[in-house]
Every structure is written in structure tokens, then in C-alpha cells.
Amino acid sequence: MSIAAAQKKGFMAAVWDYLTTVDHKKIAKLYLFAGGFFFLLGGLEALFIRIQLISPENDFLTAGLYNEMITMHGTTMIFLAAMPLLLGLMNAIMPLQIGARDVAFPFLNSLGFWLFLFGGVLLNCSWFLGGAPDAGWTSYAPLSIQSPGHGVDFYIMGLQISGAGTLIGGINFLVTIVTMRAPGMTYMRMPLFTWTTFVTSVLILFAFPALTVGLFLLMFDRMFGAAFFDVTLGGNSVIWQHLFWIFGHPEVYILILPAFGIFSDIISTFSKKRLFGYTAMVFATILIAFLGFMVWAHHMFTVGLGPVANAIFAIATMAIAVPTGIKIFNWLATMWGGSITINSAMLWTLAFIPSFTIGGMTGVMLASAVADYQYHDTYFVVAHFHYVIVGGVVFGILAGLHYWWPKMFGRILNETLGKISFWLFFIGFHLTFFIQHFLGLMGMPRRYWVFLEDQGLDNGNLISTIGAFLMGIGGLIFVINIIYTSVKGEKASADPWDGRSLEWAIPSPPPFYNFKQTPLIRGLDPLWIEKTEGKGKITPAEPLGDIHMPDASILPFIMSFGFFVAGFGFIYQVDHSGWLAAIFIGIGIALICMLIRSLKDYHGFHIHKEDLEREAD
């Protein structure tokens, strides 16, 4: 394929290109746009929740619709917005940071994305097909077993399909980082974002199968008459809670660790300093991941596991504050004495530190099992996890988008709009959630459809709703910024931020083969080393030669579509056995795709040395 021909394309050719692409940078863009769409959807659901709670005994939403709204808000935000947005950033940046030309399994990378997208679409189809899931994002049995209609069935099949996609993505990143680092890029020279991608992938690998099993059990109970959670036949509904949280707690770290990586890279770049305590940061990340698997039962203090279990899980939970504290202090120490630039990326980062620390502090409060009996299922918990997930993850994603947008799209996001959206969102965020701590302490339970007048909850809820609208406007201005930038934005140079890591050594946006010659890495912050001690650019590790690239393929799309069809089959075969055909057709499509993939030779193609020489630098 000649490089010039690839630039002259019609619209349909571009669509086909994205449907079949195995290029990690294009898959990253797909993740970002799909994740961004679901983020807006989840945000809209959040606004509906807040409008319902704007005043006592409001009737904006019916009780049933409210349950659907809270369930879909949580599920969408966690599985379909935050994770894909992070996976998008990882896909775009991690291979560049280690000097790789693509990920280890480009085909699986594409499959992971399409499975996620079809899973997300399947889940949201429920809105138009008789009602969304309504048993909460945690879908506790036996409520989720009793829930009428097909809502929870859509939850099961949607998450099963998109979860498989995430697992595939995790394995792919792990192998990429182990085998495809450029010469000299030792583990302890990897940027923190690559490190957190690595550790997050380990968490995905070991956490998601627990959810897979939990969803299978729920599916068997609801669709095939099994008795896992049916007490009359000896079932035990606490099993769901264990499986869900064995997945669910590491999931929290799957979300926050990449954000930690983003902040570490940003703080170091904009303070013009090497990251303070790099080694401690790496080990704190690993320690958080390890402890993350030891604390799931702190979500279940009130279940009645007994004082010994509660005490052990309480102590393990409090212990997580130690490595997290190490990180906070290291970020502060990196900035200390640095030459700091304040721009949008840095504003989100600076705002993250106190916001996340508040969330961490309420986390330690909640870790105390005795006190948790008071906080459990109140708005205190809602406030806590929004402080860590919005104040940590969402701030991280937005900081990362501002920071890496020039690298991904070749244009710098508008600073003025960026700052306006930051201040609106930041003020709105604290207005929404700070007051919720007190609403919770005053006894307002979460997930309730209405609250009574004159219980001391009226003003707090009104303030919270006003804050939510500010966040909404802030988010909207960010979207406007993206549109404005793609039309009129300033073109980015290869290295607009005077960066330190490898991604800033190649053009913005990078050519599809990333590195013309594999780079040679001489230390941590390789580009900075070359700027201060070398020739100002990276030394290549190999002479210019042919580059081997993987083949594009439509199979991942068709395969995911097969599972999507089978998902409908599983959901509706309960009503009519004719739908069993959809299961066979769907799984059949997927298996045939696997067989084709297995039987056909995929040798890839080569970009020839002469073509590379003709390309201008």
C-alpha cells in the first residue's frame, strides 16, 4: 500500500478503514469517540436523577424510571465511559511511550473495541425494548433475580460481551509491554503512564473473570432456571455479592491507576522536573494493585460476615491509604522547586490533588467497619465515590485529553475554552458532591426516588442539582472545544509541551508505522536526556529498513456482531424458543470468523525502505 494513496479517500472508504483498522492509534480514536458518546449519555442520566431530586417529593420521573436511570447511569459511566476513555488513551500513547510500532495483537485490539461497542449498544437497546435494567449497577441478587421484564437480562448480556472485550485489551497491553519495548527501554525507564497501564492490565486480567462468572450465574438463574441465588432450592445470594466485589473493587483501581499515570506524566512535564520518587511511585502502584484484591468485602460490612472478617478487611482497606499517600506527596514534591506551567492539562491535575485527597479521606472513614454501619447506603457513600471517580478518574481523563490531544490529532485544544470548561466543571463538581456528604450524614439514603419535605434535606439537594448543571455546562463547553479545535485549532508541532517521554520525539499525529527507525533509549525521560545531554533528538537503534505491518481485517467487527445477535437470542429465548435460532446463528457467525482467522495465513505487509526514504521528516 502506498502512503500517498492512503490519503485520497472518500467517506465510505474512511468508514471501511475504521471498521477494519488494526492500527492502535485509530482504535484509540474509536475508543475515545464511543467512550465520549456514552459519557454524554451517562451525564444526561445523571442530570435526570438530579432534576428528580431538586425538590422534595418531586414527580419528574416515575419510581421505576428513576431506578432504571440510576442503574444505567452507574453502569454506563463505569463500563462504557470511564474504561473505554482510559483504554483509548492507553492505546494511543502506551505503544509510543515504549517505542513500539503497534501492540502485540493488533487483530485482538480491534476485536476488543468492537466487543465493547456492541456490548454497550446491546445494553442501551434495553431503553427501547421494554425498559432498562433497574436493579442498581451492582445488580444484587435476589433483587436482580426478581426484577421483571428483560432489563436485567440486557445488563447481563451487555456487560458479558463488553467485559470480554476489556479482558482481551488487558492481555494485549500486558504482552505489548513485556515483549515490544525498544532497545534500552528497561522496566524502570518506562514512563509512569506505561507502568500504570501495565499494572491496570494485570488487574483487568485477574478481576474480570470473576465478573464473567458472576454474570454467568445470574444468566443461568434468570434465563435457564438454575438455582444459584434461589434460597428455596438451597441457593445463596451472598455469592453474587462476593463475585461482584472481587471484580468490583479491583475495578475501582482499574479506573484510578491509569489516571495516576496520566497525572504523573503531566506533573513531571509541566514542572520541568524528573518525577520525584520514581521508584517509590512504581512500587506504590504495584502495592495498590495488590491490596486492591484484598479488600472487596469492605463493600459488604453490613452483610454480617462477622467481626473477624470485617476487622481484617477494614485494616487492609486502611492500608491502601499508605501507598496512595506516597503518591500524593511525590506529586507535590515533583512540583516543589519546579518551573511550573499552568495550562488546562495542569489545572485539571492541580484540581485533582485536593479533590482526590478528600475522596481518599472519606474512604478511610468508610473503611472503619463500625462507622460504616452508619454510612452504608447513604449519600455519604455517593459523595465518597464521586470524589474519587470524578475527582480522580474524570479529571485524569480530561487532563490526559488536553495533554495528548496534539499528539493524537495534531491540533492543540483551545486554552481559553479549556479553562472555562475547567472552572465550570470544577466548581460544579464540588457544589454537587460536597454537600452530599452532609446529606448522607443526616440520613438521606442513596437510590431513593423521593425525599420528604422539611427533613433538613431540601437546600442541600437543590444546591447539588445546581452543581450538576454547572458540570453539564462545563462538559458541553469541552465538547465545543473539541469541535472548535478540529476546525480552527492551532496546529501542533511534534513536541508542543517540551516533553520528556518518547511520544514527543515523533510527528503529531504520528505516521501509521510510528517510528521510522526503532529508537535507542538511554534512560528515564529519554527525550529529555537527548535534549539536555545529547543531540536533541533520539538516536535510532537500527538502520533504516523495511517495516513489517499487520493486515487490516473486518473479522473483529463481524465476530462482535455475531455475539451481539446471540445476546438477543439469549435474552428472548425465555419468551419464545424460536429465539434459540438467534443464539445458534450469532455464535455460529462468531465461530466461523474465528475459524477463518485460524485457517487463513496473515503475514502482514512491508513498507519498503525506499518509500520511507521518500517521506519527508
Partner 1 sequence: MSQDHSLNPETMPQEPEKATLEGKNKFLGLWFFLGGETVLFASLFGTYLALRNSTAGGPASTDLFGLELVFVMTMLLLTSSLTSVYAMYQMKNNNFKKMQLWLGITALLGMAFLACEIYEFYHYIHEYEFTFRSSAFGSAFYTLVGFHGGHVVFGLSWLIALMVRNAKRGLNLYNAPKYYTFSLYWHFIDVVWVFIFTVVYLMGKVG
Interface with partner 1 by CB under 8 A: which residues?
104-105, 167, 171-172, 174-175, 178-180, 205-210, 212-214, 216-217, 220-221, 224-228, 230, 232-236, 239, 242-243, 246, 548, 595, 598-599, 601, 603
Among residues 418, 280, 282, the alpha carbon closest in space to that of 342 is found at 418
**Of 339 and 598, which CB lies nearer to partner 1 in the complex structure?**
598
Burial category of 252 from C-beta neighbours within 10 Å (exposed 0-12, middle 13-18, buried 19 and up): buried
Min dist. Cβ of residue 210 to partner 1 (A): 5
DSSP for 149-206, please give it. SSHHHHHHHHHHHHHHHHHHHHHHHHHHHHH-PPTT--GGGS-HHHHHHHHHHHHHHH
Q: Of the two residues 216 and 438, which places its CB atom closer to partner 1 in the complex? A: 216
192 grid coordinates: 509512569
C-alpha torsion angle, residues 405, 409, 412, 414 (rounded to 10): -80
Q: 208 or 380, CB closer to partner 1?
A: 208
Distance CA 296, CA 231 (A): 24
Least distance (Å) between residue 138 CB and partner 1: 17
Q: Is 393 helix (H, G, I), strand (E, B) or coil?
A: helix
Strand-pairing partners, residue 540, are: 519
Q: How far is the CB of 83 from partner 1 (least distance, A)?
A: 16
CA 366, chain centre distance (Å): 24
Residue type present at position 150: H
On whether the CB atoms of residues 210 and 173 are closer than 8 A, the answer is no
Joined grid coordinates for residue 272:
520541568
Closer CB to partner 1, 172 or 268, in the complex: 172
Q: How far is the CB of 144 from partner 1 (least distance, A)?
A: 16
Cell numbers linked to 509: 499525529
CB closer to partner 1 out of 226 and 364:
226
Q: How many CB atoms lie within 10 A of CB 192?
A: 27
> Cell numbers of 47, please?
442530570
Smallest gap from Cβ 390 to partner 1, in A, equals 29
| Prior bond of 148 cis (ω within 30°) | no
Rounded to the nearest whole angstrom, what is the least distance from the CB of residue 238 to partner 1 in the complex? 8
Judged by beta carbon, residue 220 or residue 385, the one nearer partner 1 is 220
Q: List, as own/partner pairs, every contact residues 611-617 make where C-beta atoms lie below 8 angstroms and the sequence separation is at least 24, other chains included.
A: 611/2, 611/3, 612/513, 612/516, 612/544, 612/547, 613/544, 615/3, 615/511, 615/516
* Residue placing its CB nearer to partner 1 in the complex, 273 or 299: 299
Is 77 or 291 the residue whose CB approaches partner 1 more closely? Answer: 291
Q: How would you write 494-514 as a 3-class SS string? A: CCCCCCCCHHHHCCCCCCCCC
Q: DSSP character for 607?
A: E
For residue 288, the minimal CB distance to partner 1 (Å) is: 19
Task: Tell me the closest approach of the beta carbon of residue 229 to partner 1, in angstroms.
Answer: 8
What own/partner pairs with CB < 8 Å and gap ≥ 24 does 484-487 have?
484/414, 484/417, 485/405, 485/409, 485/411, 485/412, 485/413, 485/414, 486/409, 486/411
d(CA 133, CA 122): 12
When the beta carbons of 7 and 232 are compared against partner 1, the nearer one is 232
Closest approach, Cβ 158 to partner 1, in A, equals 19
CA distance 410 to 490: 9
| 226 or 333: CB nearest partner 1 | 226
Least distance to partner 1, CB of residue 104, Å: 4
Query: Which CB, 106 or 526, lies closer to partner 1?
Result: 106
Question: Given the complex with partner 1, which of 228 and 568 has the nearer CB atom?
Answer: 228
Closest CB 605 distance from partner 1, rounded Å: 11
Residues with Cβ within 8 Å of residue 173, at least 6 apart in sequence: 90, 94, 103, 197, 198, 200, 201
> In 473-609, which ranges are E strands?
490-491, 547-549, 605-607
Using the minimum distance from each CB to partner 1, give the nearer residue, 87 or 435: 87
Count of positions (residues) in the chain: 617
CB of 180 to partner 1, least distance (A): 8
Least Å from the CB of residue 228 to partner 1: 5
